[in-house]
Amino acid sequence: MDFLRPASWEEALAAKAEHPTAVPIAGGTDVMVEINFDHRRPAYLLDLNRIGDLAEWEVGERTVRLGASVPYTRIMENLRTELPGLALAAHTVASPQIRNRGGVGGNLGTASPAGDAHPPLLATGGAVEAESVRGVRMIPVDDFYVGVKRNALAPDELIRAVHLPKADGPQQFSKVGTRNAMVIAVCAFALALHPETRTVRTGIGSAAPTPVRARAAEEFLTAALADGGFWESGHPLPPSVARQFAQLAAGACNPIDDVRGSARYRRHAVGVMARRTLGWTWESYRGRAHGSQGGAQCA
């Protein structure tokens, strides 16, 4: 196995062009597990740790440009206001040691349906900045996940950053695991309210071959909020709306039975999380917009 250590982003792109099978490694929290278990044996490892700006982020007027290697710990500490959904998800990634090393770029590169970052990325929307010696392209998050552990990157492309819209409304993330920390998601759900566009977006993890949005649930809720004038009135949502939203979210799942959970449970749990996160985000929206009691905060 050859270990390539480019000193700059340009060198990294050149190396990836020369060795398209090279596996990029930054925090190593995913790649090293695979290598240690002998699950994969790449001919080349492409070490990105010398490229400092991958671990940096910029907060713009409307968006955050998040470097591919910004560790989850940094996201939790610094981007709670701009990216609340992703910050909540970052909290649930493995252990403190792993959160100090791992970043969103790795989650995207592996594209496992269980990656904790995917549901909030889908719920916020945004784009992946992919680059090769041929140039830069912005891949919408919605188009990024193309199959089980497969993404839309070309063989010579590397992920440089993710561009995410700053939150314009409450966001939530919920993840089921069978212990209270350090656990791979049995299933996960993210919800973002977008009051500016009067829309809602969702993301579901570990309950389909790829991370998916619950589009029918989004459309239903967007319509229900508009038709009922809820954005303006800030009235509590009728339980029937929450129920219907939960049912549609569960219906967006296409899960399997595996050692971590049954398909039936996953569908059920996604419905429960959809209903609860809707309750929390809506209460929070009402609190912010209309001065009523805010929703529960997370530690």
Partner 1 sequence: MSTPWPRASAPGRTPTGLTQGGRTGAGIGASTLRPDGTLKATGEFAYSSDMWHEDMLWGCTLRSTLAHAEIVSIDTSEALAQPGVRAVLTYDDLPTEVKHYGLEIRDTPVLAHGKVRHHGEPVALVAADHPESARRAAAKIKVEYAELPVVTDEASATAEGAPLVHEDRHDRHAHHVPHPNILHRQPVIRGDADAAAARADVIISGEYVFGMQDQAFLGPESGLAVPAEDGGVDLYIATQWLHSDLRQIAPVLGLPEEKVRMTLSGVGGAFGGREDLSMQIHACLLAQRTGRPVKIVYNRFESFFGHVHRHPAKLWYEHGATRDGKLTHLRCRIVLDGGAYASASPAVVGNAASLAAGPYVVDDVDIEALALYTNNPPCGAMRGFGAVQACFAYEAQMDRLAAALDLDPVEFRQRNAMEQGTIMPTGQPVDAPAPVAELLRRVKALPLPPERQWLAAGAGADVRALPGGLSNTTHGEGVVRGVGYAVGIKNVGFSEGFDDYSTARVRMEVVGGEAVATVHTAMAEVGQGGVTVHAQIARTELGVRQVTIQPADTRVGSAGSTSASRQTYMTGGAVKNTCEAVRERVLDIGRRKFGTYHPAWATAELLLEDGKVVTDGGEVLGELADVLEGESVDLELEFRHRPTEAFDLRTGQGNGHVQYSFAAHRAVVEVDTELGLVKVVELAVAQDVGKALNPLSVIGQIQGGSTQGLGMAVMEEILVDPVTAKVRNPSFTDYLIPTILDTPTMPVDVLELADDAAPYGLRGVGEAPTLSSTPAVLAAIRDATGLELTRTPVRPEHLTGT
What are the structure tokens assigned to 61, written together?
Answer: 């007027």
Question: Going by DSSP bridges, is the β-strand pair 187-194/199-205 parallel, antiparallel, or unpaired?
Answer: antiparallel
Orientation of helix 239-251 relative to helix 263-290, angle to 10° = 140
- Answer for which of 17, 276, 288, 289 binds partner 1 (CB under 8 A) is 276
Note whether 106 binds partner 1 by CB under 8 A: no
Residue 79 Cβ vs partner 1, minimum distance, rounded to whole Å:
17
Note whether 296 binds partner 1 by CB under 8 A: yes
Number of residues that bind partner 1 (CB under 8 A): 40
- The nearer residue to partner 1, 153 or 191, going by C-beta atoms, is 191
Q: Which residues contact 259 (CB under 8 A, 6 or more apart)?
A: none
Site for partner 1 in 206-265 (CB under 8 A): 259-262, 264-265
Note whether 153 binds partner 1 by CB under 8 A: no
- Answer for which of 36, 62, 196, 240 binds partner 1 (CB under 8 A) is 36
Please, where are the H alpha helices in 116-213? Answer: 118-124
Draw the binding track, 163-192, toward partner 1 (x: CB under 8 A; -: no contact): ---------xxxxxxxxxxxxx-x------
- Angstrom distance (rounded) from CA 296 to CA 292: 13
Alpha-carbon radius of gyration of the chain: 19
Residue 292 Cβ vs partner 1, minimum distance, rounded to whole Å:
14
Q: What is the DSSP string of 193-227?
A: EETTTTEEEEEEESSSSS-B--HHHHHHHHHHHHH
- What are the backbone angles phi and psi of residue 34, rounded to the nearest 5°? -65, -40
Note whether 127 binds partner 1 by CB under 8 A: no
Note whether 88 binds partner 1 by CB under 8 A: yes
- Angstrom distance (rounded) from CA 110 to CA 147: 11
Residue 259 Cβ vs partner 1, minimum distance, rounded to whole Å:
5
Query: Which positions lie near partner 1, rule CB under 8 A?
Result: 36-38, 88, 91-92, 172-184, 186, 259-262, 264-265, 267-269, 272-273, 276, 279-280, 294-299
